[in-house]
Amino acid sequence: MSFRKIVSLTTLLSFLVMCYTGLILIIVPEGRVAYWGGWQLLGLNKSQYGELHTATSLLFLIVSILHIYLNWKAIMQYLKNRAKNFVLFTPNFVVALIITTAVFMGAYYKVSPFSDLFIWQSDVDDYWADKYGEPPFGHAELVGLKNFSKKMDLDFTKVKEILNKNGIKYDNENETLLQIAKKNNKTPQDIYLLIKDAEIGADINEVKPETSKVEEKMPAEGSGLGKKNILSVIEEYGLDKNLAFSNLKKAGIKFDEKSLMKDMAAQIGVTPIDLFKIMKEGR
């Protein structure tokens, strides 16, 4: 066996796995959506992909350092001129530096094509949010059943009645929605949809009229509003486009139809939720 060959092959394999998990983490739903809707791909959830990516990246870092050490003489040759003298800023090094700097600055200042990539990623997040739904607040799946009911103004007695009626097993009132969901082969969202009609003072046997998607969904902290572009927000929440644009202009905000909520909010030092209120009601 050859140590040099082992290092090179491990570098290659860890690089391939790291690229795969990195790509998955780009297209995966945001955490609040992935955990709420029980997203999985090839039997792995977002947390597991994140853990694999972290472990593989660490392995890649270690073997890359070893690879550089074993090939240090060859690398030094890349930094020599025709007279075999060491020169840091060789033509090859300058081109590599320009490419790296261009990517860094392009991503930092969000210029095309990097801005297009970020918009696409935001659209992917919106797609997953529409498909899997969003929790009523951040990390709702990690809140105990009783505390969740209290936070959502649900009658806990009715909540337990609904769960028992539907054969949902749970050990105690402090179990989180995620734990209950896993125990019953469901998602936290499934559990919430079962108990959401147990409002205080409501009859759980009452047939309620259907409400529209716009009426049911309102932006909340942890909803990912900041990563959405202005047009998707207007469509999702049923806002008047002309009124929203007019209110933003009156507030002195510069934007176009692809602008992200968080970027517009940062212009006047408010949160995306506050910006939404400006779009809807003005200042």
CA atoms of 153 and 159, how far apart (whole Å): 11
Residue 63 exposed, middle or buried by CB count within 10 Å (0-12, 13-18, 19+): buried
- What's the pLDDT tens digit per position in 171-189? 888 888 888 888 888 888 8
Give the mean model confidence (pLDDT) for residues 255-273. 83
**Integer CA distances (angstroms), 217 to 33, 141, 220, in order:** 14, 18, 9
Question: How do residues 67-88 score in pLDDT, each as one tens digit?
Answer: 988 888 887 877 776 767 777 7
Could you tell me if 258 and 242 are in contact, meaning their C-beta atoms sit under 8 angstroms apart? Answer: no
When the pLDDT of each residue in the chain is averaged and rounded to a whole number, the result is 81
